Amino acid sequence: MAIAYVSTRGDAPRLGFADAMLAGLARDGGLYVPETWPTLSRETIAGFAGRPYAEVAEAVIAPFVGDAIARPTLKAMIAEAYASFRHPAVTPLVQTGDNRFVLELFHGPTLAFKDVAMQLLARLMDHVLAERGLRATIVGATSGDTGGAAIEAFRGRSRVDVFILMPHGKVSEVQRRQMTTVPDANVHAIAIDGSFDDAQAHVKAMFNHHAFRDRLALAGVNSINWARVLAQAVYYFTAAVALGAPHREVDFVVPTGNFGDVFAGYVAKRMGLSVGRLVIATNVNDILARTLETGRYEVTGVTATTSPSMDIQVSSNFERLLFDAVGRDPATVRSAMASLAQARSFTIADEALAAIRRDFDAGRAGEAEVGETIARVKRDTGYLLDTHTAVAYAVADAAALDPATPTVVLSTAHPAKFPDAVEAASGIRPALPPHLADLLDRPERLTRLPNDVAAIEAYVAEHARVARDAAA
């Protein structure tokens, strides 16, 4: 059966999986979500125990894809995507305390959880573009990790050009170099003089500029793309089942910025996985923690932290949760988003806030706690956390979770991506794995642009092959 996708703002075409994936942002500015949540039976979920990651991924993803991609083709793409991971379990669990586990999501090529979805998304997109004989122009925003993962997954592919906007000077050196040292001609790393929120706003503005969007055949690889979120739902299943689901609940604590990863946990729960609490962990850029406390989503300035990938205030995927929480009423979402655009804030009605709180808790960790957590966990358990994972670990320590329920902290990045901060906290400078050992010696290629969407559009239009094909 084919699932249809609808926009959270209710004013864009209803699409099938392949079109929703290629569309990225819906044409009304909203985000695509499945019209209904497919569920997996208890028996099916129980049957995931001991199965390879790729088999679980196929079972979780296939209901959302329907007949958009033939099942054997989907299976082959999933197998290929995860064959590149450096751990046989793909996303292994490590126990660090009584009922405390770390879910390592950083064994992909660029050492962050983004690889889990991006390695598959590149194959899915390439397949659909090839079937249709099309090219696309990917525009993406990054606070450090999405950009590297997207560039690695799409580099050298003949049907796409990739333009990644990063905030200048605000990503780690390893993150920057993962984007700037790739020689392939279809890759364009761009630094803007602004924040990640600015970069994401420019990406959305390009999508909302319909003439530009259509002329360049824009596609998105941020978690505004439904396929990203979907692929991330898989590891909630593998982790929970390894810890006793569906026969017991498992809590997850998720370092959060753009709300894609923790929303993927919500998707798993909606599909029938026995997820207990979903805890949103933020650094001092704590818009989500404040929202859960007060019911008011209010954007303030961004503060630079040692967990730069989470230095985000406008948390895109929250719109998807809001859509469900308000009973899937697009008018309410439209009005909240209009208020966000005009007044930088909106208020969530009591009933919707109560619905959100039924599944989610939230907490924040300041810089001192992050450093102290890295040092303490290393000292007590021998395990070295990265700064983003440390935010979640600290929040998990402070959260009022049932000690009898296993708690999984999502580890979203390898500590070697943030060596200065990890060394300052622990005295240990984590080494990059062998495939990146010479990263700091590779030549860089980076374009600097002003924090201005017109300048960015002009650059994309000049360099995208879609535009050149049309002019030829």
Ligand X SMILES: N[C@@H](CCOP(=O)(O)O)C(=O)O
Ligand Y SMILES: Cc1ncc(COP(=O)(O)O)c(C=O)c1O
Rounded least distance, CB 147 to ligand X, Å: 6
Rounded least distance, CB 194 to ligand Y, Å: 17
Measured distance CA(151)–CA(162) in Å, rounded: 7
For ligand Y, how many residues bind (rule: CB under 6 A)? 18
Rounded least distance, CB 467 to ligand Y, Å: 30
Q: Which two tokens stand for residue 176?
A: 């920057």
For ligand X, how many residues bind (rule: CB under 6 A)? 12
Contact yes or no for 271/42 (Cβ under 8 A): no
Rounded least distance, CB 16 to ligand Y, Å: 25
417 given a catalytic annotation: no
Q: Of 172, 258, 306, 407, which one interacts with ligand Y (CB under 6 A)?
A: 258
Q: Is 144 an interacting residue with respect to ligand X (CB under 6 A)? A: yes
Q: Which two tokens stand for residue 374?
A: 């890295």
Which bin fits 382, alpha (ψ -120 to 50), beta or left (φ > 0)? left
Within positions 294 to 333, which residues make up the interface with ligand X, using CB under 6 A? 309
Q: Is 220 an interacting residue with respect to ligand Y (CB under 6 A)? A: no
User: x/- contact string, 260-279, with ligand Y (CB under 6 A)?
Assistant: xxx-----------------
Q: Is 197 an interacting residue with respect to ligand Y (CB under 6 A)? A: no
One DSSP character per residue, 29-53 reads S-BEEESS-----HHHHHTTTT--H
Q: Which two tokens stand for residue 193?
A: 């003089």
Q: Is 286 an interacting residue with respect to ligand Y (CB under 6 A)? A: no
Residue 119 partner contact from ligand X, ligand Y, none using kind-dependent CB cut-offs of 5 to 8 Å: none
Best CA proximity match to 251, nearest among 45, 97, 398, 401: 401
Query: Terminus-to-terminus CA distance in the chain, angstroms?
Result: 41
Measured distance CA(264)–CA(34) in Å, rounded: 13
Best CA proximity match to 174, nearest among 328, 16, 308: 308
Rounded least distance, CB 341 to ligand Y, Å: 20
Residue 222 partner contact from ligand X, ligand Y, none using kind-dependent CB cut-offs of 5 to 8 Å: ligand X
Measured distance CA(112)–CA(419) in Å, rounded: 14
Contact yes or no for 176/147 (Cβ under 8 A): no
Q: Is 223 an interacting residue with respect to ligand X (CB under 6 A)? A: yes
Listed ranges 141-149, 240-248, 345-353, 448-456: which one lies at the site for ligand Y (CB under 6 A):
141-149
Best CA proximity match to 239, nearest among 264, 205, 207: 264
What is the CB neighbour count within 10 angstroms for residue 168? 18
Residue with tokens 């009605």: 349
Residue 305 partner contact from ligand Y, ligand X, none using kind-dependent CB cut-offs of 5 to 8 Å: none
Q: Of 91, 142, 387, 411, which one interacts with ligand X (CB under 6 A)?
A: 142
Q: Is 388 an interacting residue with respect to ligand Y (CB under 6 A)? A: yes
Given the rule CB under 6 A, which residues bind ligand X? 142-147, 222-223, 257-258, 260, 309
Binding stretches for ligand Y (CB under 6 A): 112, 143-145, 223, 255-262, 309-310, 388, 412-413
Residues labelled as active-site residues: 114
